[in-house]
Structure 1
Amino acid sequence: MGNQVYIALGSNIEPRKEYLDEAITELESHHAIQLTRSSSIYETMPVGYTEQSDFLNMVVEIKTTLRPLELLDICQSIEAQLGRKREVKWGPRTIDLDILLYNQENIVSERLIVPHPAMHERAFVMVPLGEVSPEVILPNLNRTVEDILNKIPKNETKGVIPWQTISGEEGLKDSEN
């Protein structure tokens, strides 16, 4: 499978972890998608519209033969299948799948912009992406994920709290839910 892609996943409607798991299962079940790596799950406070529950966020790396818009269709169909409603900008969601990077391509179309336009400013994206692939370059900025992550203010990155590590150990916050 030829194309290396990074996808951010997020959920803030319970059961958040089940929505993440189901989205990954759906991605993996597609014949043209192979999951190669995934980050830990992080809990983060909402950005933009803040009157909502905290998010669980993670990033997965996949290999795929799908073209960018075909992959976008798959991601949006998974969102729809899992009950995603787009009622409030930056509002609550069962699941959100965002294509962050597609190879080293800059893609600008009506439906898709890659690299994801604001990803380099969002600790909740860059922390899990940095865990999966710190050396990958954002082609629009010609900088590595690690370099960008080092420039995000510490007060923002510390708000991205490990919730479940790759080893399956759930974070301390989980016992409160």
Structure 2
Amino acid sequence: MSNPFVPDVDTLGNLKPISKVVFSLGSNQGNSVDILQSAVTALADTPDLIPVDLSSVYVTKPVGAVVDQPDFLNLVLVAETVIEPSILLERAHAIEAGLGRTRDIVGGPRTLDIDLVMYGHRTVDTDEMTLPHPRAHERAFALVPWLEIDPEAEIEGRGSVKDLLAGLDTSGVVRSDEVIELP
């Protein structure tokens, strides 16, 4: 896909590097298809964020502390940007809140979850964020859709998504007939 993106410049007039970013989106409350479509549209409407590819939708079993909840619909969006990771995370949280996300129960049901999985080859470890996402390499619900659209995908410091998936149980990740589209 050709990229019409025009590189940005920093305050010194230097070109900012364009970075590949990976978002994992999930929903298991409300009308998850509409919520995910709205989230993808909102991300695509973000200035200086250029969507590159969007995976199929997958039905996935909940993981973590609260497994007694409805299945999730999950997908992955790959984009390019010059936006700093902290700003992307703020944008993701604003989209989540705008679509009804509350943070009542850690790992519990949610209308929308947007994880920033990877930002180029950058590693970040702050109180607000860790990149690459600290559990992405363990999450088949994120890796299966990511591999679908990026067969050469790698997680910095962890290895190829294909190799990581070889060591995971993917039986709870099933491609759905639901369709979410880039605007």
Gaps of 5+ in 1: 169-177
> In 2, distance between residues paired with 1:29 and 1:87?
28
Distance across 1 between alignment mates of 2:99 and 2:53 = 22
Flag the structure with larger Rg. 2
Q: Name the counterpart of 2:68.
A: 51
Structure (1 or 2) with the greater helix fraction: 1
* Partner deviation per Cα, 1:71-97 (whole Å, 9 max, x = no partner): 001000000100100000101111110
Q: Per-residue CA shift, 1:2-59, capped at 9, x if unaligned?
A: 1100000000002001110000010111121111101110001111201211100010
TM-score computed with the length of structure 1 as normaliser: 0.88
Could you tell me how far apart the structure 1 residues matched to 2:177 and 2:118 are? 24
Per the alignment, residue 12 of structure 2 pairs with none
Residue 89 in structure 1 maps to residue 106 in structure 2: yes
- Contact (CA 8 Å) 2:33, 2:180: kept in 1 or not? no
Indicate the RMSD between aligned Cα atoms, in angstroms.
Answer: 1.5
Q: Are 1:159 and 2:172 counterparts?
A: yes
What does residue 174 of structure 1 align with? none
Determine if the alignment matches structure 1 residue 9 to structure 2 residue 16: no
Structure 1 Cα separation of the partners of residues 50 and 146 of structure 2: 17
Aligned partner of residue 58 in structure 2, secondary structure: strand
Partner of residue 27 from structure 1, selected from 43, 60, 84:
43
One-letter identity of the residue aligned with 1:93: R
Q: TM-score, normalised by structure 2?
A: 0.85
The runs of 5 or more residues in structure 2 that have no matched partner are 6-17
Change (3 A) 1:12 1:166: closer
Matched, 1:18 2:34: yes
CA distance in 2, matches of 1:30, 1:6: 14
Counterpart-to-counterpart distance in 1, 2:143 and 2:48: 26
Cα contact 2:151–2:162 (8 A) shared by 1: yes
Contact 1:40 1:58 in 2 (8 A): yes
Letter in 2 for 1:57: N
Match of 1:68 in 2: 85
Deviations 1:137-160 (A, max 9, x none): 21122x1111111221xxx21210
How far apart in 2 are the matches of 1:130 and 1:71? Answer: 22
Q: CA deviation at 1:134?
A: 2.4
Q: Which amino acid aligns with 1:31?
A: P
Residue identity over aligned pairs, in percent, reads 36
User: Is the Cα–Cα contact under 8 Å of residues 22 and 119 in structure 2 kept in the other structure?
Assistant: yes
